[in-house]
Amino acid sequence: MEKDMQTIYQSVLSRGFSRRDFLKMCAVLTASIGLDYSQNSEVVKAMEVSKRVPVIWLQLQDCTGCSESFIRSSHPKIESVLFNMISLEYTEALSAASGHQIEEARKHVIENYPGEYILAVEGSIPMHDEYLMIGGVSAKQTLLETAKHAKAILAYGSCSSWGGIPAAYPNPTGAKPITDIIKDKPIVRVPGCPPIAEVMTGVIAHLITFGTVPELDHHGRPKAFYRHRIHDKCNRRAFFDSGLFVESFDDEGAKQGYCLYKVGCKGPTTYNSCAEMRWNGGVSYPIQSGNPCIGCSESNFWDNGPFYTRMAKIPGTQTTINPEVVGAGVIGATVAGIAVHAAVTAVMNKKSDKSNKKDKVDTSDKGESREEDK
Amino acid sequence: MSIPVEKSKHEHPETRIAAKERRPVRTREDGKAYIKVYVWELPVRIFHWINAATILVMIVTGIYIGKPFLGPLVHEDATAFLMGWVRYIHFFAAFVFTANLLARWYWVFKGNKYATSNPAQKAFWVETWQTAKFYLFLRNKKPHYTGHNPLAQLSYWIFIGVGSILAMLTGYYLFFEPQPESLFGRMFSWVPMIFGDSFMIRSWHHLVAWGFIVFIVVHIYMAFREDWMERNGTMSSIFTGYKSEKKLKGKQHDDESTKE
């Protein structure tokens, strides 16, 4: 733990890097946390004075996908995050220790760094405790206990941000996002299934650099990464505006790289930075690779399917429908109803005409309503 | 050519729905058994047709935006801008629709008594029920109405009133969604708190649009049916403004003095 007393700058130097390397790292960091280059000097200053921050990484109802994504960060490199910026004290996926030892480590951090450590949460929390107990303690209890003295909380992934797949209908475990359980701490939502690695490290880098949470939108997502819809930055957007669409995955349009809107792309309703950050060190992202966006960073994405059709959801339900098909059906039913109504009207009209003729003498001006049903 | 009198064969109870005192309704004597009542004033007719046209345009373009059923003739993304144009027309129609609706709301307060509706009274709902029974061929005490019957008024409250507001709120949110920090973006930034995320807002917009289509189908049928059953010129009234009314005890038309 003594090393933790070093600043990030010192720890970089002690690893054999030069000041020049350090400045390069800072420049990359500035860019990756979504800041302007003019703020580079602030990042450098922060890195010179701040110390490595202890991090507790809880894995609750998750699939470890977020951890897997995190360790693939390339800017900043995960090594520099893990060894220079943070001190990852507790994580199920990466820790060498396990069992009681690792639970000890977690308690140690809570006791020794109250108000200083960052809590990263991956996975949703079951409301029925029996679905997830870690070391004999329920997931909710673990979360509450660890969150109590945390400086800030990072909700990594769609599960901890929205409930995610565990919360998908019928949600057997009663899964909830951490924002439903913790109300009194700053929480940064970093949704995605998983989130982009550079977004995950970028958010943590911002926290360490400035000691504050980055600017958030109304859902608590960092604006630097979740400000735009994928649709607005999509490399296939020109095809959308042209009206050139992939109709099926084996057609000419698919070969030409046309817009995937008609095969269910959720880009127009999905806030994420896939289109500009891309994945695997900026190589590609689903739409670029020819697969429609499934909207994994949006709440209820699993229930908003199917993935490869354009759907609309009936408000207040989990039911998605194809609005044009259902709409045409409803119109058909309406027209059929009208035809029946018109036919009945015509028959009634004829009937009343007949009876009208019969007592034509009576139906002069003063006639009381003879035909009450009309 | 006179309309045969014997066709208007029903007697109706008087409506009890109270209407605000408005300017006298203009009528025109045609010297026969009928009197022509100026029901739909010019702003109402203009509203109706702009509303109809913009809704129709928005339905066609909206279905295209939701499910692009055509491709551009030239398969060249550098020159084709089909979806772009369709969206542009949709948005343009939306602004016209909104301005038109605002003007109509002004006319709710300034127009004649047929231009307004007040459901905040018991008689309105009693007579709505009677009208519903009338259309279901059940025994009823539906009064005769020169303007809209209360069931029709209710349908306008639901579709043209609430439906338009739902469509506009969700639509403008979606329109300004890429610029949440802009003035208009901020004006609609609260919409997700009621309607849910981007996907839910789209779903609302879509479903409301289909509600409008159902309304149009029923509305047109009802108008033709009224014309056919009552022989009162309902269909031509939306062009001319005048409906034919049987001369009755002089009471139904609040003024017959302002003859043209």
Cβ neighbours of A264 in B, within 8 Å: none
Residues A279 and A216 in one domain: no
Residues A371 and A246 in one domain: no
| Residue in chain A lying closest to B88 (CA) | A241
Residues A35 and A62 in one domain: yes
Please check whether residue B11 lies inside any domain of the structure.
no
Q: Is B203 exposed, middle or buried (0-12, 13-18, 19+ CB in 10 A)?
A: buried
Contact A335 B202 (CB under 8 A): no
Distance between CA atoms of A194 and A297, rounded to whole angstroms?
8
Residues A237 and A255 in one domain: yes
Confidence (pTM): 0.84
Q: What interhelical angle do A40-49 and A197-210 show, nearest 10?
A: 70
How are the residues of chain A apportioned to helix, strand and coil, as percentages rounded to the nearest 5?
45, 15, 40
Please check whether residue B181 lies inside any domain of the structure.
yes
Residues A88 and A137 in one domain: yes
Q: What does the pLDDT read at residue A363?
A: 42
Residues A30 and A169 in one domain: yes
Residue A292 CB-half CA count within 13 A: 25
Query: Residue B36: beta bridge partners?
Result: B28, B244
Distance between CA atoms of A187 and A90, rounded to whole angstroms?
19
Amino acid code (one letter) for A55? V
Residues A269 and A313 in one domain: yes
Residues A287 and A248 in one domain: yes
Please check whether residue B17 lies inside any domain of the structure.
no
Candidates A245, A323, A373; nearest CB to B66: A323
Q: What does the pLDDT read at residue A357?
A: 66
Per-residue HEC secondary structure of chain B comes to: CCCCHHHCCCCCCCCCCCCCCCCCCCEEECCCCEEEEECCCHHHHHHHHHHHHHHHHHHHHHHHHHCCCCCCCCCCCCCCCHHHHHHHHHHHHHHHHHHHHHHHHHHHHHCCHHHCCCCCCHHHHHHHHHHHHHHCCCCCCCCCCCCCCHHHHHHHHHHHHHHHHHHHHHHHHHHHCCCCCCHHHHHCCCHHHHHCCHHHHHHHHHHHHHHHHHHHHHHHHHHHHHHHHHCCCHHHHHHHCEEEEECCCCCCCCCCCCEC
Supply B161's token pair.
């009133």
Kindly give the pairing relationship between strand B242-246 and strand B34-38. Answer: antiparallel
Please tell me whether residue A362 adopts helix, strand or coil conformation.
coil
Q: How near does any CA of chain B get to the CA of A136, in Å? A: 37
Contact A372 B139 (CB under 8 A): yes
pLDDT in tens, B130-167: 999 989 888 888 888 888 999 999 999 999 999 999 99
Q: How far is CA B83 from CA B57, B86, B178, in A?
A: 14, 5, 17
Please tell me whether residue A301 adopts helix, strand or coil conformation.
coil
Using an 8 Å Cβ cutoff, are A112 and A87 in contact? no
Please check whether residue B216 lies inside any domain of the structure.
yes
pLDDT in tens, B8-24: 445 567 788 877 778 88
Using an 8 Å Cβ cutoff, are B212 and B11 in contact? no
DSSP secondary structure code for residue A3 in this structure: G
Amino acid code (one letter) for A164? G
Please check whether residue B201 lies inside any domain of the structure.
yes
Kindly give the pairing relationship between strand A137-138 and strand A312-313. Answer: unpaired
Contact B82 A242 (CB under 8 A): yes
Range of the domain at B206: 34-71+79-117+131-244
Distance between CA atoms of B68 and B99, rounded to whole angstroms?
28
- Of A336 and B2, more confident: A336
Neighbour tally for A367: CB within 10 Å: 14
Q: What does the pLDDT read at residue A17?
A: 86
Q: What does the pLDDT read at residue B256?
A: 41
pLDDT in tens, B215-239: 999 999 999 999 988 888 899 999 9
Candidates A312, A338, A356; nearest CB to B217: A338
Q: How near does any CA of chain A get to the CA of B107, in Å? A: 31
Angle (nearest 5°) at CA A145 between A141 and A147: 115
Cβ neighbours of A331 in B, within 8 Å: 210, 213-214, 217
Q: What does the pLDDT read at residue A130?
A: 92
Range of the domain at A336: 322-374
ipTM: 0.83
Cα A222 off chain centre by: 12
Domain boundary among A211, A226, A241: A226
Q: Which of A269, A317, A326 to mutate to test the interface with B (most CBs of B within 10 A)?
A: A269
The parts of chain A modelled with pLDDT lower than 50 are 1-3, 361-374
- Which of 33-92 (B) contact A at CB < 8 A? 63, 66-68, 70-72, 75-77, 80-84, 86
Residues A332 and A269 in one domain: no
Tokens 């950050």 belong to residue: A277
Residue B116 CB-half CA count within 13 A: 18
pLDDT > 90: what percent of chain A?
53
pLDDT in tens, B98-137: 999 999 999 999 988 898 898 998 989 999 999 999 898 8
Q: How near does any CA of chain B get to the CA of A345, in Å? A: 8
**Is B10 in CB contact (< 8 Å) with chain A?**
yes
Domain boundary among A226, A255, A286: A226
Residues A233 and A152 in one domain: no
Residues A259 and A186 in one domain: no
Contact B210 A323 (CB under 8 A): yes
What region, left, alpha or beta, does residue B148 occupy, with left being phi > 0 and alpha being psi -120 to 50 degrees?
beta
Q: Which of B86, B141, B197 to mutate to test the interface with A (most CBs of A within 10 A)?
A: B197
Q: Which of A161, A221, A244 to mutate to test the interface with B (most CBs of B within 10 A)?
A: A244
Contact A314 B139 (CB under 8 A): no
Q: How far is CA A232 from CA A44, A245, B205, in A?
A: 33, 16, 20
Query: Residue A55: beta bridge partners?
Result: A88, A118
Q: How many domains does chain A have?
A: 3
Q: How many domains does chain B have?
A: 1
Q: Which of B170, B206, B208 to mutate to test the interface with A (most CBs of A within 10 A)?
A: B206
pLDDT in tens, B35-53: 888 999 999 999 999 999 9
CATH code at B94?
Answer: 1.20.950.20
Residues A241 and A352 in one domain: no
Kindly give the pairing relationship between strand A86-91 and strand A53-59. Answer: parallel
**Is A362 in CB contact (< 8 Å) with chain B?**
no
| Residue in chain A lying closest to B189 (CA) | A218
Distance between CA atoms of A81 and A12, rounded to whole angstroms?
11
Supply B114's token pair.
């047929």
Domain boundary among A172, A198, A226: A226
A-B Cβ pairs (cutoff 8 Å, strict):
138
Candidates A244, A266, A313; nearest CB to B71: A244
**Is B200 in CB contact (< 8 Å) with chain A?**
yes
CATH code at A296?
Answer: 4.10.480.10
Please check whether residue B255 lies inside any domain of the structure.
no
Contact B80 A243 (CB under 8 A): yes
Please check whether residue B103 lies inside any domain of the structure.
yes
CATH code at A47?
Answer: 3.40.50.700
Q: How far is CA B8 from CA A222, A322, B29, B227, B251, in A?
A: 70, 46, 18, 12, 17
The pLDDT of residue B254 is above 60: no
